Amino acid sequence: MDSRRLRNFVTVVETGSIARAAAVLHIAQPALSVQVRQMEDLVGCQLLSRSSRGVVPTATGLEFCRRAKETLKMMDALRAIGQEDLSSPSGHVVLGTAASAANMLAVPLVNAVRERYPGITLELLESPGAHLGEMLLRGRVDICVMLGEYESSGMQVLPVLEEDLFVVGLRGEAGGEVDLDRLDGARMVMPARPNSLRTLFDRECAARGVTPQVVTEASSPWTMVQLVRAGIGATVLPMSMLGGTQPADLPVARLVNPALSRPVSVATAIAAPQSPHLLAVKALLLETLEQQAHGSSWQGVRAWPAPAAMLAA
């Protein structure tokens, strides 16, 4: 069971077909079929369920594929020892982030990586925030931008920014502040659960006896804003979900009494190898977040007291 055969098996699972995998890998289909059978013999159980439509991994096959990816990742890191230099690291880094954070970070971060570390390939993977922690621990992503509070078991979570929440689309409220009590009975468009912003909002409403009328839920911030524009209801969002600045066509007011905010953190898996290229991207990510906090393109966000240099240590 060598790395080549493990990669071949992963490709079979990801393509869902031995024939397609053989074409991708540029090897003969019969040879690949033999490799898969030999791997099943070695493991001692069936890894793939075969049919005329292709192959589907069994439950054991899924777990085998997951562990194979982890093993290949560690082997790649071992091969990189002695080949990477801290001044010019190279490799592939997957950054997981919610869509709103990606909206604020994608351009400046990709430009920074390309300028300083041309040997690093950065992949941006957008996912609902509730799934990012699991993806990080499973090795699907190397580093995450986390929004809201998360259990840090198995992860190193470094708070970098704090993001205020605003009421968007509430008639008669714009350019100032609005008390949470003002939302009692208001028609609202809110993020679908599970969602850290929704959890925070629901908790504070329950604590103050405020009962908004949630008329619809949506998982996409862009869909939420479109529903607000259509007059369905108001919503509560950070500015990152609005592109960082107040839209000209919607009333926006800071939520106060209480003022609600959520942390923006950078997370890595404790058990994952801290390769030079991952550390380089992490440092640039922290630097980019700090720059956004002190600039004008991301309103309603503040840097935490500890500077990025201390957080990266």
Phi first, then psi, for residue 304 (nearest 5°) are -70, 160
Amino acid at 57: P
The pLDDT of residue 208 is 92
Pairing relation of β-strands 187-191 and 143-147?
Answer: unpaired
Per-residue pLDDT of the chain (313 residues; tens, 9 = 90+): 688 889 999 999 999 999 999 998 888 999 999 999 988 988 889 999 988 888 999 999 999 998 888 888 888 777 666 555 556 788 899 999 987 788 888 899 999 999 999 989 999 988 877 788 888 888 889 999 988 777 667 888 888 888 889 999 887 665 688 899 999 999 999 988 878 888 889 999 999 999 999 999 988 888 888 999 999 999 998 888 777 667 778 888 889 888 888 888 899 988 888 888 898 999 999 988 888 777 767 777 887 765 443 444 4
Sheet holding 261-269, edge to edge: 120-126, 91-97, 143-147, 261-269, 155-164, 301-303
Q: Cβ of 44: how many Cβ atoms within 10 Å? A: 7
The pLDDT of residue 274 is 81
The pLDDT of residue 309 is 38
Distance CA 183, CA 216 (A): 15
Predicted TM-score (pTM) of the model is 0.65
**CA nearest 141: which of 110, 109, 97?**
97
| Strand ranges in 59-165 using DSSP code E only, listed in sequence order | 91-97, 120-126, 143-147, 155-164
The pLDDT of residue 310 is 40
